[in-house]
Structure 1
């Protein structure tokens, strides 16, 4: 995840801050679920941003230049403590990150105060691998939001076929 230090920061105003963050894919439209911790530098930057903006990179494990990756630019919305989605988000999140059990929102005995957040992308930039063989460029948001899961080995040919419509 990447965020920007707020304008009133004493030494790093306007500077980017980037560090790996957990997210979970719990939404059919490609939005991502976050655990938002007030102690986190990212959270502090997001809450001080008028648009609550952030960017998240998604890549292969392990990352490799020849493999597909995507940068998602968007905004974070905090969910209220009593959100009807909370239990489903907890189940989904812990299925993907069982080690996050100590940080789950609503746990009075948790390690930190935490909230559920939803990251909603507004811009998608895709790098399919090396440029002469794979699509590199913006992906229309509606295509991203309606895409179904697919085999990573098919990613390059799928986007090359649709490049003409971008």
Structure 2
């Protein structure tokens, strides 16, 4: 596939993902309120987090730039680190779908290494507080469709076990591994293209000018 098709596949991977591995850096030195061992200061930590691709559902303005949404817990290590200034990367993969795929070569065993994965680089940007009612309604509808259990810790919910807030990962770079290098693209995606496509299409000056969106491609083994 072309680089633009690979970008569409990566955006589709984000759209269909419900979790990802978020990597951040502990501050150095650690704050006095930290319960982490002093020796981890300045080290990275990778933790699985809930996410949802909610850009297209949000009003004012209705933009879809591939910036995943988090319902962030203030107590969570990932978001304590970003609040202390850490950037963030988010790794996504299609590996759990291996049994739906076909061998990449006749007689070759099914291989997770031959399936797509991507890492998004960027920073956490909280939504404005208070979140406008229309925006919060859209966030709840989108996010809870993928994570109905998260209703328990919605922002401001009485009796919630932890305080939370809505945030997005503003994507600044994307690294893509489409599968085996002889068959798929591996490398850095064009961020203008990443931000310039939607599910239904793209502008004529984006990518190959075909006007395709991420809804026009399918990941390996994906059923129609």
Same fold (TM over 0.5): yes
Structure 1 unpaired stretches of 5+: 155-166
The offset of 1:68, in angstroms, is 0.8
Larger-gyration structure (1/2): 2
Look up the SS of the partner of 1:134 in the other structure. Answer: coil
- Whole-angstrom distance in 2 between the partners of 1:35 and 1:57: 17
Aligned to 2:117: 69
> What number of residue pairs does the alignment pair up?
152
Assess if the C-alpha contact under 8 Å between 2:95 and 2:115 holds in 1.
no
Which of residues 138, 151, 162 in structure 1 aligns to 2:188?
138
Between the aligned partners of 1:115 and 1:87, the Cα distance in structure 2 is 14
> Which residues of 2 match residues 96-111 of structure 1 at below 5 A?
96-111=146-161
Which structure has more relative contact order (CA 8 Å, sep 6+)? It is 2
- Name the counterpart of 2:45: 17
Post-superposition offset of 1:108:
2.4
**Corresponding residue number in structure 2 for 1:152:** 219
Q: Is the 8 A contact 1:58 1:70 kept in 2?
A: yes
Find the counterpart in structure 2 of residue 86 from structure 1. Answer: 136
Q: Give the drift of 1:61.
A: 4.7
Once the two structures are superposed, what CA deviation does each residue of 1:29-60 show, in whole Å capped at 9, x if it has no partner? 100110111110111110111xx510101111
TM-score if structure 2 supplies the norm length? 0.64
> 1: CA distance between counterparts of 2:29 and 2:136?
33
Q: Work out the CA distance in 2 between the residues paired with 1:99 and 1:151.
A: 28
Q: Deviations over 1:4-41 (max 9, x none)?
A: 11111222111110011011000121001101111101
Confirm or deny that 1:117 pairs with 2:117: no
Other-structure match for 1:57: 91
Contact 2:94 2:116 in 1 (8 A): yes
Matched, 1:40 2:76: yes
Contact 1:81/1:106 (<8 A) preserved: no
